[in-house]
Structure 1
């Protein structure tokens, strides 16, 4: 039986392990941290259960698919429910927009902007649904072993039909004229770390997916997905080694031979790397001549997504808010431009997540859990070093903004637990190059064929899955990356040969 060694027990690493066990391979994972999840991590303190990274569940069928593929019933592992409304957007002038995937509720909200804007919003949904089907059928479910896989008449025609050259914001502006609605339909590109003013218009599919397929909640929080993947992997006979950082991917000639862990070689015929691709290229493959076009000099000049500053608040008082909410800066455009030019926003937009509003298992009785994420520049462009003093200053800036929210005026007086994640934390905790929370920036020149692929070209038996690889970032897309990587392995290997 052929052995696959997986570097990292992140979402794609665990999902790939499950698939490969089902396909008949022997699978062992080496993970640097003390528990699984990668960015889908968890902090636990005084009964508060903080999801560290992803919090929004879209495309639940992809969450379920990996369990179904393995022969299990996903309902035995995940308890998911539809959120309605799934997000509330708060504007600086005091108005708000509740976003629902139930059409009657959505229409009532839209009609406050007038019938023309309501029609434009619905026209947007129809147009982007067509583009989404084109992306899904021709690009998302396909990997690229050669240039011809992309540069052929059929693919180029489909790419032309997508009309991706303008920005997400510009594309949205064709359908709606009200600035509030434009912002409501374009900010979602920040979910994958790219500006709506510069990110390709194809990413307007994100709000469409939310609206047409819904946003869901996993009872117990997002980390339950990590725990479910780990449980299924172990049930199937997989092995996970925690506190076991991989130091090198071992090569014999142009083939993988295994990995080096704590100075000791661990052998396997196949290596699937779930460490973030830029980190792996710079640190795990030691011979520059084996890296193909992804030599260290190129990795340093690639474009990286935004980073994040996150506050995890455990509060000894109940506060009424939404599970998911967005609060826009006074000048949203300036705020986003600051992220691109490396300036730390002093009036940032921010996202709040409070699963304890609907889930009593997340926080102690009578207490509240609030997660506050502020997009900030990555450490390639950013001018901040995130020293202790800088972290303290920015923490207070964010808390001051929260206490201006009606009902949160006394929030500082009720903080029982306060944890922070800064760009520097994402760098050392998850090996994210330049602290890019979402990996490589999904611009056109780093997407589809131009993104690092799932099968590495210049080293045999080396494969990749994760947010910096094709097809991209976001939990559902990372699960798709795992699926593509495993398909590539099956093209090259039979488990018992």
Structure 2
């Protein structure tokens, strides 16, 4: 049935739609629009599609530039099923379990697993007698998760009352939107370490666990319930599979073809102008570039750009990041696929990032960062016997770091990371790092159009979710739509795939 619908849609061509940017949101939107019968042309500025989820290849090493693990695999499966295909025919997923290890400077370690017995044992080791509370936490988070994805996240709704009205009173009362994430986790756990581990997800949502809504306890639950996975060939393996699907469906993809501006006339999109001067006419354009970047850099109307800049200045963004890509000679012992190193002064590190606007590095133990060694899971990502490593350190946004000396800063942070690794028994001599690339927030802005160097798009504060978040269509320009991490439903690979679907549905409605 799905294949027949896809074939029918392909034969009935609707007006052409241009997609700017080949990130996962843009690819998803292109696929869903193609399935609805539209001719779709996608322009990607870089050599490869993928956006944040890109790939570096150097000296026999393959590095995923952004995400290092795949979660919520059902979202990816649904994308392929919409086209009458199966994910497994395009992408091989390798289970990563144990999944994430958290480590503190005092030597404490907490390792997550989708194996319930292993998870219970690990939590009980840190907080004896907590097993019943772990089960209660999982049951509670499952209710939040199901309500969120069945009735909220996957719907286009601009009216807050109608959006929340999709929930019954019991579901609404369980969302914990008026309780902080830390307080919500604290209802089940007394252990500082468990609370800090589950609360640390807040950093990538653009806020502190002391400020973000308790609803986001679903993040830890989703990874525990559905597991974490590495596509064969790295995260870019799933990007390659999705790109292949898009091309099979007839989406026309042009890489190394940046768009200079979105053309408008009398409040209506008329097409795009490419950097080479070529004009491509269309009445509908979907931008997978961050919404703030689209509105303040790509629109051809300077007065409208200035007006939207004022609105953009009020949008809270997620932090920036410095990312290191290291090709290491030989094996790296005592390091799993994904390790998060948390600071001694946990609350202070969040204050540094979000209140004091500085990189939290007053001392070695207070620098939070995570390390991924994906070649431990997929040996093809490094030359035989060697190790591919990825290090991510959160930073404030670019306009909060004026005058920063990036070469000096990255050198200092690299040394701190290596020293902290050494403290945890990871003996990584700098001379063994034979290949290195570094992206600063400025590089992320310049390479991928990330507004103000924000790594994950708009933040997920209470008033930047659902109908309060930037909508996936322009209120000022008819025919302009958005997809990706800065619009609804939010940041993260599964969310931006859903974003593409929602944008396609919005276009059909409007």
Would you call these one fold, judging by a TM-score over 0.5?
yes
Residue matched to 2:489: 471
**1:57, CA displacement in angstroms?**
0.9
Measured after TM superposition, the shift of residue 95 of structure 1 is: 2.4
Hey, what's the Cα distance between the residues in 1 that align with 2:501 and 2:478?
Answer: 19
Query: In structure 1, what is the equivalent of residue 325 of structure 2?
Result: 312
Q: Distance in 1 between matches of 2:118 and 2:168?
A: 39
Q: Describe how 1:294-373 pairs up with structure 2 within 5 A.
A: 295-320=308-333, 321-340=335-354, 341-346=356-361, 347-373=366-392
Residues in 2 aligned to 1:165 and 1:185: alpha-carbon distance in whole angstroms: 18
| Equivalent of 2:434 in 408, 413, 416 | 416
Task: State the partner residue of 1:253.
Answer: 266
Matched residue, 2:424 = 405
Give the structure 1 partner of residue 4 of structure 2: none
User: What is aligned with 2:467?
Assistant: 449
* CA deviation after TM superposition for structure 1 residue 258, in Å: 1.0
User: Are the equivalent residues in 1 in contact too, given 2:151–2:166 (CA < 8 A)?
Assistant: no
Where 1:403 maps in the other structure, the secondary structure is: helix
| Aligned equivalent of 1:377 | 396
Q: Which of 118, 143, 158 pairs up with 1:130?
A: 143
Give deviations 1:194-220, integer Å, cap 9, x for gaps.
322222211111001111111112111
Aligned residue number for residue 112 of structure 1? 125
TM-score norm. by structure 1 comes to 0.94
3-state SS of paired residue (1:345) = coil
Q: Deviation per CA, 1:353-395, whole angstroms, max 9, x where unpaired?
A: 1111121210000101111111121223335624322332222
- TM-score, structure 2 length as denominator? 0.91
- Between 1:311-320 and 1:388-397, the stretch displaced more is 388-397
Q: Residue 433 of structure 1 aligns with which residue?
A: 451
1:133 Cα shift?
1.6
Cα pair 2:127 2:191 within 8 Å, conserved: no
State the 1:114 CA deviation: 4.1
Tell me the distance in 2 between the aligned counterparts of 1:25 and 1:236.
11
Q: How many residues of Structure 1 are paired with residues of Structure 2 in the alignment?
A: 489
Q: 1:42 aligns with which of 47, 52, 55?
A: 55
Q: Deviations 1:106-128 (Å, cap 9, x if unpaired)?
A: 12212213444232222211111
Q: Structure 2 unaligned runs (5+)? A: 1-12
In 1, Cα distance between equivalents of 2:137 and 2:481: 37
In 2 relative to 1, CA 163–407 (structure 1 residues): closer, same or farther, beyond 3 Å? closer
**d(CA) in 2 for partners of 1:3, 1:55:** 34
Return the offset for 1:443.
0.6
SS of the equivalent of 1:204 reads helix
**Could you give the per-residue CA deviations for residues 239-267 of structure 1, whole angstroms, max 9, x where no partner exists?**
11222221221123222111111233211
1:177-216 map, 5 Å: 177-216=190-229
Supply the distance in 2 between the matched residues of 1:280 and 1:301 (Cα, whole angstroms): 16
RMSD: 2.0
Report if the CA contact (8 A) 2:43-2:258 is conserved. Answer: yes
1:91 CA displacement: 2.1
Following TM superposition, by how much is the alpha carbon of 1:413 offset from its aligned partner in structure 2, in angstroms? 2.3
Displacement of 1:315 after TM fit?
A: 0.5
Q: Is the 8 A contact 1:7 1:275 kept in 2?
A: yes
| Aligned mates of 2:440, 2:168 — CA distance in 1 | 40
Alignment of 1:167-182 (within 5 A): 167-182=180-195
- In the superposition, relative to structure 1, how do residues 432 and 331 fare at CA in structure 2: closer, same or farther (>3 Å)? same
Within the candidate set 466, 484, 487, 2:505 is matched to 487
Contact 1:145–1:455 (Cα < 8 Å) also in 2: no
Measured in 1, the distance between the counterparts of 2:314 and 2:126 equals 44
Classify the secondary structure of the residue corresponding to 1:186. helix
- 2:331 is the alignment partner of 1:284: no
Structure 1 CA distance, aligned partners of 2:96 and 2:409? 36
Indicate if the aligned counterparts of 1:344 and 1:383 stay in contact, CA closer than 8 A. Answer: no
Residues 79, 153 of structure 1: alpha-carbon distance in 2 compared, 3 angstrom cutoff: closer
Contact 2:322 2:410 in 1 (8 A): no
Q: 1:147 offset after TM fit, Å?
A: 5.9
* Equivalent position to 1:460, from 475, 478, 483: 478
C-alpha spacing 1:301/1:50, structure 2 compared with 1 (3 Å): same
- More displaced stretch, 5-14 vs 318-327: 318-327
3-state SS of 2:399 partner: coil
Question: Is it true that 1:67 corresponds to 2:80 in the alignment?
Answer: yes
1:160 CA drift (Å): 5.4
1:234 maps to which residue?
Answer: 247
Determine if contact 1:254/1:290 at 8 Å carries over to the other structure.
Answer: no
Partner of 1:495: none
Distance 1:396 1:40, change over 3 A: same
What's the CA shift for 1:310?
1.3
The secondary structure found in structure 2 opposite 1:275 is coil
More deviation in 396-405 or 41-50? 396-405
Secondary structure at 1:371 match in 2: strand
Counterpart for residue 6 of structure 2 = none
Query: 2:273–2:279: 8 Å Cα contact kept in structure 1?
Result: yes
CA 164–478 in structure 1, closer or farther in 2 if over 3 Å, else same: same
